[in-house]
Amino acid sequence: MTNPTRHSTVPIVLPPPPETDPAPVDGCAGCAELVNVRERARAVGDLSSVTDCNIYLRRHPEGHQ
């Protein structure tokens, strides 16, 4: 039988993601809108929406090929 830990353990500190925000494709209205939504979300601290926009932008260029 093991003894439970009776003290707090040191928190794990994760590094920030190494990636930068994906760039929009020039001349694409869809990319431009995603960038606008991302900027508005970042301005109000909605980092979940910022992440969503980044994911959509990373996937979106598939339609440009």
Instruction: Please provide the average confidence, as pLDDT, over all residues in the chain.
Output: 85
Question: What is the reported pLDDT for 64?
Answer: 62
Q: Which two tokens stand for residue 50?
A: 């910022």
Helix then strand count (H, E) for the chain reads 2, 0
The pTM (predicted TM-score) of the whole model is 0.66
The answer, yes or no, to whether residue 14 has pLDDT greater than 70, is yes
With b for 16 or more beta-carbon neighbours within 10 A and e for fewer, the 41-59 pattern comes to beeeeeeeebeebbebbee
| Mean pLDDT, residues 20-38 taken together | 92
pLDDT of residue 4: 73
Q: Measured between alpha carbons, how far is 54 from 21 in angstroms, rounded to an integer?
A: 6
Q: Please, which residues have CB within 8 angstroms of residue 37's CB and are 6 or more apart in sequence?
A: 49, 53
